[in-house]
Amino acid sequence: MPVSPAGPELRADCSRCFALCCVALPFSASADFARDKAAGTPCPNLGGDHRCGIHDRLRPEGYTGCTVYDCFGAGQKVSQVTFGGRDWRTGGREHARLMFAVFPVVEQLHELLHHLDEALALPAARPVHTELRRARERVERLSLGTPDELAGLDVGPHRREVGALLQRAGELARAGLRGRRKDRRGADLAGARLRGADLRGVSLRGACLIAADLTGADLRGADLLGTDLRDADLTDADLTGALFLTRPQLTAARGGAGTRLPASLPRPAHWTARG
């Protein structure tokens, strides 16, 4: 199952963004963040040049959540296209407020574009390629809206429409796989012992696998759209051909040199060399 790597417009380019994720989004003191921060308030680690002052030591400083996050290129889209290169520091209070409201909307739209591109790269999903292309065109048009249009956009209906198409694409892609098991969509598998489990072609869409032991598990062709893999152990697991798997999901999990990944996804830098 070939997976098309994201185009440059769907890959985060922090050099062209006004650090929107460090300002627009809130976070709470937890295992992922060292302190609370309100939405619209700059992170205390953010410099005047829109760069993070602790970027090379985020994990030891208690900001693991920052290393997991991915805007799918929404940051540079909002900064350079939607707002024409005018940043939130110099544009005035209302400009900043609107920019911070638009950013999470475009982020969701770009995530949909990312998944649609992957579905379009699946030969087995050819029966729905026309619908997928039309959906992609609609979502792309929405992402190019004016600031006011984007701020008022309800993304929910579009997520549901695209989600249904992605489900059909995933079912077509998994239909020919041997070892296909029952549907585990939305299953609560937190902490589950799944060491060496045969999960080929299983739908784990939206399932909770927090801290699950997936050591050596076979996840080839599994549908992982929205699967929560935080602290899941993927050591020696095989995820080649896994559907709708994203970099944030991998970065939130644990793995090693023996974890087999789709060709389009890089191995997280913090994974140890064990496995």
pTM over 0.75: yes
- Structural domains in the chain, CATH included, are 9-173 (no CATH), 179-275 (2.160.20.80)
Q: What distance in Å separates the CA atoms of residue 92 and residue 94, rounded to the nearest whole number? A: 6
Instruction: Say what the pLDDT of residue 1 is.
Output: 47
Tokens coding 213: 């032991």
Instruction: Say what the pLDDT of residue 228 is.
Output: 97
Write the single-letter amino acid at 84. G
Query: What's the Cα-to-Cα distance from 248 to each of 73, 111, 123, 146, 252, rounded to whole Å?
Result: 13, 11, 25, 28, 6
Instruction: Say what the pLDDT of residue 176 is.
Output: 78
Instruction: Say what the pLDDT of residue 262 is.
Output: 92
Task: Say whether 10 sits in a helix, a strand or coil.
Answer: helix
Query: What's the Cα-to-Cα distance from 89 to each of 23, 37, 147, 204, rounded to whole Å?
Result: 11, 18, 17, 42
Instruction: Say what the pLDDT of residue 275 is.
Output: 38
pLDDT digits (tens, 9 = 90+) for 175-187: 878 765 678 999 9
Query: What's the Cα-to-Cα distance from 63 to each of 19, 43, 44, rounded to whole Å?
Result: 15, 11, 12
What distance lies between CA 132 and its chain's CA centroid? Answer: 19
Query: What's the Cα-to-Cα distance from 173 to each of 51, 94, 218, rounded to whole Å?
Result: 41, 46, 17
Residues 151, 105 contacting (CB under 8 angstroms)? yes
Task: Say whether 1 sits in a helix, a strand or coil.
Answer: coil
Instruction: Say what the pLDDT of residue 274 is.
Output: 43
Sites in the chain below the pLDDT cut of 70 = 1-6, 179-181, 272-275
CB count in 10 Å sphere of residue 107: 24
Q: What distance in Å separates the CA atoms of residue 90 and residue 199, rounded to the nearest whole number? A: 52
pLDDT digits (tens, 9 = 90+) for 49-64: 999 999 999 999 999 9
Residue with tokens 């913090």, as numbered in its chain: 270
